[in-house]
Structure 1
């Protein structure tokens, strides 16, 4: 499993810290988030690599354990006009993915147990392209 240091904007770091202290996370998720936040690199939004997930990222992700691949668009809690692929930043999947880059496998405990998610590709909101699954 490819491991990587989280790279976060100041806003996303603050949000994840709030999640750690005030959300009801499982012991697994709380320990994982604590370890990741201690080692996280905080950058200004303009210096965030384009392949790193942040608020407003469009992500093609695969749930390795379930064999499912899907698109998500991580939106802020104040965002208006949600689409089918939009998930709020408060969604457990969004919390799990923030700060990771394409190619990374993330483990996060969901309602049905620990799941492994592979980040296939990341696009930022200002990019018109949306990651898509192409089947040959």
Structure 2
């Protein structure tokens, strides 16, 4: 993961993610994706939902990214694992890409590890951020 950029989480997302991880680790062992997510959460600046800038990725945001290796664009919604559905472009926060993007902002270039090495992508747009639309509890 790219740990150079400042990242922001809402207090609400932080608390929900901590609860999700506690439940997940009761049923499963702590895997690398969960450890990565915990690391990102702990280093993030926590802010009130009403104060997070609209250019930061929060839970349930619809994000457009550009893969810098292939110069192709992708759009997806960042969701909790139970809502994940690749056919509907809903990516789980526990997927490597989901963990990598949480809390970053438009313009950030992010690296994440994939089985074949590392990928780089840039957040090019946030088409929907719940907090920017007054949806503080999605």
State TM-score, norm by structure 2. 0.68
Match of residue 53 from structure 2: 49
Unaligned runs of 5+ in 1: 129-136
Mapped pair 1:24 → 2:32: yes
Mapped pair 1:4 → 2:8: no
State TM-score, norm by structure 1. 0.69
- Secondary structure of the residue aligned to 1:100 is coil
After superposition, the C-alpha distances for 1:18-77 in whole angstroms (9 at most, x for unaligned) are 49x92224xxx95xx74x555421012221111110110000101111222110111223
Unaligned runs of 5+ in 2: 134-138
Match of residue 124 from structure 1: 129
CA displacement at 1:88 relative to structure 2: 1.9
Match of residue 79 from structure 1: 83
Relative to structure 1, is the Cα distance of residues 120 and 92 closer, same or farther in structure 2, using a 3 angstrom cutoff? same
Match of 1:62 among 36, 44, 66: 66
Relative to structure 1, is the Cα distance of residues 23 and 104 closer, same or farther in structure 2, using a 3 angstrom cutoff? same
- How many residues are aligned here? 121
Q: If each structure's helix is expressed as a fraction of its own residues, which one has the higher value?
A: 2
